[in-house]
Structure 1
Amino acid sequence: MNKTNPRLESLIGMLKRASRENEANIWREIAGRLNTSSKNYAEVNIGKISRYASENEIIIVPGKVLAAGTIAAPVKVAALNFSDAAREKIMEAKGSCMTIEELVAANPKGSRVRILR
């Protein structure tokens, strides 16, 4: 499927390359989920992240993180996009927000990363 967003196009290519080079199937899985129609992207609320993530865990969302709910534990969250309010809530809980590109650079093997959708 051809994407019109150049960032998305390069991200999918980079994920596939990282998957091959590091033998990390998680990046191929994320690339596959992002290579679908944007209406199929995950939209995950802060409350869901809070329910499924333990303290200092790394979460990846192949889509957008939204602000409904609360979060208390410091969690690292990587996503395609964040709403401003969601970013604020994660930071208030002493967590961190990063792009998927930043996560791949920091953790090329994709170890100890949980996918939420």
Structure 2
Amino acid sequence: MKIATKTNPRYSALVATLKDASRTNDAGVWREIAKRLEAPSRNHAEVNLNKISRYAREGETVIVPGKVLGSGVLSSGVSVAALNFSESAIDKIKNANGTCMTIEDLVKSNPEGKSVRILR
């Protein structure tokens, strides 16, 4: 049986970056995100804005190991890091005074992984 590997070079590089950041900064959050991204893409998270609004507080950083979808209303300004965003999700996050970023950007700005909430 052939072992499936990721064909998207961005995912392979991101997983390697996350594992390296986990080792060098002793941050288990990056190891957990790398483990979730190594799974098949059908198992990646798809999180709607209403779930982010329900679990995240004002000014908090949320990471989604998958895609953020625009269903729902975001009432507070939160920083959201994910693999992908829908166009409506980007608009709604920015209108709520939040920020959208890639997981790569979050690892660069917060290598220790402090105060990050994982949603799936």
Is TM-score (shorter-chain normalized) higher than 0.5?
yes
Q: 1:32-111 alignment to 2 at 5 Å? A: 32-111=35-114
1:38, CA displacement in angstroms?
0.2
2:9 pairs with one of 6, 12, 22: 6
Residue-by-residue CA offset, 1:12-33 (whole Å, 9 max, x unaligned): 0000000000000000000000
The number of residues matched between the two structures is 117
Larger-gyration structure (1/2):
2
1:72, CA displacement in angstroms?
1.1
Taking structure 2 as the reference length, the TM-score comes to 0.96
What are the ranges of 5 or more consecutive residues in structure 2 without an aligned counterpart?
none
Paired with 1:53 and 1:36, the residues of 2 have a C-alpha distance of 25
1:99, CA displacement in angstroms?
0.1
What are the ranges of 5 or more consecutive residues in structure 1 without an aligned counterpart?
none
Taking structure 1 as the reference length, the TM-score comes to 0.99
- Note the aligned Cα RMSD (angstroms): 0.5
Paired with 1:8 and 1:87, the residues of 2 have a C-alpha distance of 21
Paired with 1:25 and 1:69, the residues of 2 have a C-alpha distance of 31
1:35, CA displacement in angstroms?
0.1
1:37, CA displacement in angstroms?
0.3
Task: Name the counterpart of 1:16.
Answer: 19
